[in-house]
Amino acid sequence: MRPLQIDFEDGFSGDTVVIRVDGRELWREDDVTTNLAVSVATIARLEVPAGMEVEVSVPTRQLTATERVETPYLEVEIVGDKLVLRPSRELPRHL
């Protein structure tokens, strides 16, 4: 297991977000809304098996995306009608 921080950033408005790894739901949060002053909606801190595929879904918008994450950080944002996942080796910064 290794730590994974997932930053939900731009584009969320009253959404439900769910994180699954290997089909198992690890994390869920309702009413997720981007705070425009910092471009962060919420941050999830998890322990996941190394090299596993992480599925992020936003059921309130029927959006799902998966990514095999090898980095300690994953940035997630909604751009138009797409859920964009961006693995990162650096801590995402917000101000």
Partner 1 sequence: MVDIDPTTGLAEPELHAEHEEGGVALEVMPPHENGASAAVDEETAVAIASALAPTIDEPTETGDIDVSTLSGLGIHPLPKIPLPLVKRRVAGRYRSAGAPFQVELRVDVDGPRPTMRVSADYYSISGGTINYFGSMRVDAVSVAVSPTVVTITGLGVYTWSAGAPRVKITIPRMPIFSRGGAATLQHLTLAGTPGATYICKFVSPFLRSVLFEQDRQDTVPAPFVSYNTGSLPSGGPARTLSVAGAYAEAGVEMQTAGVTDVVNTTETGANGTWSDAELHAAMVRHFSLWRDIPQWAVWLFHAQLHDLGPGLYGIMFDQVGRQRQGAAVFYQSLAGTTADQQRLQLYTTTHEIGHCFNLLHSWQKSLAIPPLPDRPNALSWMNYPWRYPLGGAGAFWNAFPFQFDDQELIHIRHAFRDAVVMGGNPFRVGSALEDPEGWRDPIEDNSGLKLELRAPRSFTFGSPVSVDLELSATDMRGRRVPQRLRPRNGNVEIAIRQPAGRVLVYKPLLHQCAVDDMVILDVDTPGISETAFVHYGQDGFYFDTPGLYRLRARIIAADGSIVLSNLLEVRVQSPVTREDDEAADLMFGDEQGTLMYLMGSDFDQLQAGNEAFSDLQSRFPAHPLAAVARLVQGVNAAREFKQVGADNSVTVRQPNPEEADKLLKGVVDLAAARRAVGKKKDLESIRKAVATELRDTARAKVDPDLAAYIKARRREIAVEVSGATE
**Residue from 3, 30, 59, 91 binding partner 1 (CB under 8 A):** 91
Structure tokens at 2: 């290794």
Region of residue 22 (phi > 0: left; psi between -120 and 50: alpha; otherwise: beta): left
Q: Confirm or reject binding of residue 38 to partner 1 (CB under 8 A).
A: yes
Total site size for partner 1, rule CB under 8 A? 24
Torsion from C-alpha of 20, 58, 32, 9, nearest 10 degrees: 90
Stretch that binds partner 1, among 19-27, 50-58, 64-72, 86-94 (CB under 8 A): 86-94
**Residue from 1, 23, 62, 80 binding partner 1 (CB under 8 A):** 80
